[in-house]
Amino acid sequence: MKTAVIYWSKSGYVKNYAFWLSDSLKADLFNGTDIDYDELERYDTLIFGGGLYAVGINGVKSMKEAMKRFRDKEIIVFACGASPPREEIKKEVLEKNFSEKERYRMRFYYFRGGFDFDRLTFVDRILMKLMKFNLKRKKELTPDEKGMLAAYDHPVDFTKRENLSGIVDYVKSCQNNAGGI
């Protein structure tokens, strides 16, 4: 079984995960901004990854297009965000980005990335400054919000290769069931 990992990464956290997945699975790696659907035709498993921005997954339109085009392929999606990987976060991300039919069609994973204000684009910096302003105005902050405020001054990176064990094991089991390596 041939596997491709396609990613959209603005600040590098998704790229780290995509690189580690590609290495662990001996998969080909593609930057999603250069996606070529004709080239993806030759793969059995497509793994798409994108960062979260206000719960929206970077690259989600291309992921949905691939789901429409490649109905015979194993489709896996992962999202990477600053929040800890909790079920309610995963559920919110899935429901915001994919219809029930699309959710049924794919396997989904959520990984914790990081936050580094200096790596953001100009527009993302403005949006994050607005969020920081709003957080500072709140009387009571959740632990996640306190951590987010602290990360503005001290970048955080929660990416770890071992976070990928579930997705790697799943893909390898699919390969073994199909007679691949």
33-80 per-position pLDDT tens digit: 988 999 999 999 999 999 998 788 999 999 999 999 999 999 999 999
Same domain, 161 and 102: yes
d(CA 96, CA 58): 12
Domain range for residue 95?
3-116+157-177
Same domain, 126 and 61: no
Same domain, 77 and 130: no
What pTM, to 2 d.p., does this model score? Answer: 0.87
Number of structural domains (the chain) is: 2
Same domain, 94 and 147: no
Same domain, 33 and 109: yes
Using one digit for the tens of pLDDT, what is the confidence trace for 125-134? 788 888 888 8
DSSP state of 158: -
Same domain, 88 and 142: no
pLDDT at 179 (0 to 100): 61
How many other CB atoms are found less than 10 A from the CB of residue 133?
9
- Distant-in-sequence, close-in-space partners of 168: CB < 8 Å, separation ≥ 6: 21, 24, 25
* Cα 21 to the center of its chain, rounded Å: 12
Same domain, 94 and 132: no
Token digits of residue 88: 């309610």
Same domain, 9 and 59: yes
Same domain, 140 and 59: no
**Residue 166: what residue type?**
G
